[in-house]
């Protein structure tokens, strides 16, 4: 199974359009040792010709263009993208769906709750320009499912969603949120190759529990929420703002941050992804970057590829 990182930043990307923090301004000036990053986007394939997207980022158009494997190969209208698995309803996980309009059949995998949020939103009607353009596949945490193309060809990739204790996006009205299943809001995803190798993708990690740590210990590659270095990072950078935990992200640093709590997970290659523009680990000269690297973690970059 091939795994491509098309984007590795959190929502807003790096640099962020309206941010003049030290990271963003030094990156623009060319004085930061570090890389620009588009918003988190992963693609997987077992055969190199049919690809499945994990989430659909707002940067998907340029991410596809930067990835020759995803370009049309044969017909006039064609795509190597066979399906999309959605792990939350957040704007930075779903907006890319709207960029995949243009009369293209798509297989979308999501919980019934996420599907309902999107189907209730008329903007997503742009994906219904022809009958059966989008086939929705309802998934449930803990129940395995196999990816396949819109015409039913198996990808030989088996997935299993893991419920995380996250919240539905704030754009969903409060009353509507109350109607939705609690365990369908934010997911991690185990992705197993035909050979039984496992990627665990958790771009938003609101809390750690035993199930999730067990899944990590069974995986070969971890792509984990690296949004914030510190819990108070937003307030510290711009004078105000919610804590990392308040908006559904365990920070990296601190006694119960992921760097310490996941030190005992030894088996997989461990990579931080979904890194916010304010995160000090984006500066490769920073002590924070060094600390993460010395603990055996890597910091994902756009364009990286793995083979499992």
Q: Which one of residues 47, 171, 263, 305 is an interface residue with a second copy (CB under 8 A)? A: 171
Select from 148, 161, 217 the least CA-distant residue to 189.
Answer: 161
Decide: is 256 part of the binding site for a second copy (CB under 8 A). Answer: no
In the region spanning residues 268 to 307, those forming contacts with a second copy, defined by CB under 8 A, are none
Decide: is 236 part of the binding site for a second copy (CB under 8 A). Answer: no
Beta strands in 126-216 (DSSP E): 134-138, 145-148, 154-164, 186-192, 198-202
In the region spanning residues 24 to 53, those forming contacts with a second copy, defined by CB under 8 A, are 24-25, 28, 36
Decide: is 65 part of the binding site for a second copy (CB under 8 A). Answer: yes
Decide: is 121 part of the binding site for a second copy (CB under 8 A). Answer: yes
Say how far apart CA 49 and CA 82 lie, in whole Å.
Answer: 9
Decide: is 207 part of the binding site for a second copy (CB under 8 A). Answer: no
Say how far apart CA 265 and CA 208 lie, in whole Å.
Answer: 13
- Of residues 90 and 160, the one with the C-beta less far from a second copy: 90
Q: Which one of residues 46, 50, 237, 286 is an interface residue with a second copy (CB under 8 A)? A: 237
Spatial CB neighbours of 141, under 8 Å, sequence gap ≥ 6: 111, 161, 162, 163, 183, 184, 187
- Candidates 43-51, 65-73, 149-157, 180-188 — which segment interacts with a second copy by CB under 8 A? 65-73
CB of 6 to a second copy, least distance (A): 12
Decide: is 19 part of the binding site for a second copy (CB under 8 A). Answer: yes
What SS3 state is found at 124?
helix
User: 306 - beta bridge partners?
Assistant: 3
Q: Which one of residues 69, 104, 112, 136 is an interface residue with a second copy (CB under 8 A)? A: 104
Select from 51, 113, 131, 108 the least CA-distant residue to 305.
Answer: 51
Select from 277, 87, 97 the least CA-distant residue to 168.
Answer: 87
Query: Which residue do the tokens 């310490």 mark?
Result: 260
Decide: is 214 part of the binding site for a second copy (CB under 8 A). Answer: no
- Beta-carbon-side half-sphere exposure of residue 251 (alpha carbons within 13 Å): 21
- Of residues 163 and 185, the one with the C-beta less far from a second copy: 185
Residue pair 245/196 in contact (Cβ under 8 Å)? The answer is: no
Decide: is 122 part of the binding site for a second copy (CB under 8 A). Answer: yes
- Of residues 207 and 238, the one with the C-beta less far from a second copy: 238
- Of residues 15 and 206, the one with the C-beta less far from a second copy: 15
What SS3 state is found at 173?
coil
User: 267 - beta bridge partners?
Assistant: none
Decide: is 99 part of the binding site for a second copy (CB under 8 A). Answer: yes
CB of 127 to a second copy, least distance (A): 9
Q: Which one of residues 87, 95, 147, 252 is an interface residue with a second copy (CB under 8 A)? A: 95
What phi, psi does 58 have (nearest 5°)? -65, -15
Site size toward a second copy (CB under 8 A) is 57
Decide: is 153 part of the binding site for a second copy (CB under 8 A). Answer: no
User: 221 - beta bridge partners?
Assistant: 199, 269
Q: Which 8-state DSSP code applies to residue 250?
A: -
- Of residues 254 and 303, the one with the C-beta less far from a second copy: 303
CB of 232 to a second copy, least distance (A): 15
Residues that bind a second copy (CB under 8 A): 12-13, 15-21, 24-25, 28, 36, 58-62, 64-65, 68, 70-79, 81, 91, 95, 98-104, 121-126, 129, 169-173, 237-239, 241
């Amino acid at each position: 199974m091939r795994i491509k990182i098309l984007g590795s930043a959190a929502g807003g990307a790096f640099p962020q359009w309206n941010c003049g923090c030290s990271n963003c301004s030094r990156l623009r000036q060319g004085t930061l040792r570090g890389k620009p990053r588009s918003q988190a986007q992963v693609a997987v394939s077992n055969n190199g010709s049919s690809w499945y997207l994990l989430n659909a980022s707002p940067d998907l158009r340029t991410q596809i263009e930067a990835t020759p494997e995803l370009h049309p190969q044969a017909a006039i209208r064609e795509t190597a993208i066979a399906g999309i698995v959605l792990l939350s309803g957040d704007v930075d996980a779903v907006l890319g769906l709207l960029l995949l309009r243009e009369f293209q059949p798509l297989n979308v995998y999501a919980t019934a709750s996420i599907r309902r949020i999107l189907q209730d939103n008329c903007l997503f009607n742009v994906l219904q320009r022809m009958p059966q353009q989008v086939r929705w596949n309802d998934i449930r945490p803990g129940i395995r499912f196999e990816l396949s193309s819109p015409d039913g060809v198996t990808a030989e990739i088996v997935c299993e969603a893991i419920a995380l204790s996250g919240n539905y996006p704030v754009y969903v009205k409060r009353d509507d949120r109350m109607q939705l299943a609690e365990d369908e809001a934010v997911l991690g995803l185990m992705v197993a190759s035909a050979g039984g190798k496992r990627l665990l993708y958790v771009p938003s990690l609101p809390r750690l529990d035993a199930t999730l740590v067990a899944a990590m210990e069974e995986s070969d590659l971890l792509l984990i929420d690296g949004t914030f270095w510190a819990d108070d990072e937003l307030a510290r950078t711009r004078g105000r703002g919610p804590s990392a935990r308040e908006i559904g992200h365990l920070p990296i640093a601190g006694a119960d941050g992921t760097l310490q709590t996941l030190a005992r997970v030894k088996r997989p290659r461990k990579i931080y992804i979904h890194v916010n523009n304010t995160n000090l680990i984006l500066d490769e000269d920073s002590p924070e970057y060094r600390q993460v690297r010395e603990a055996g973690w890597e910091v994902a970059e756009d364009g990286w590829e793995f083979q499992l």
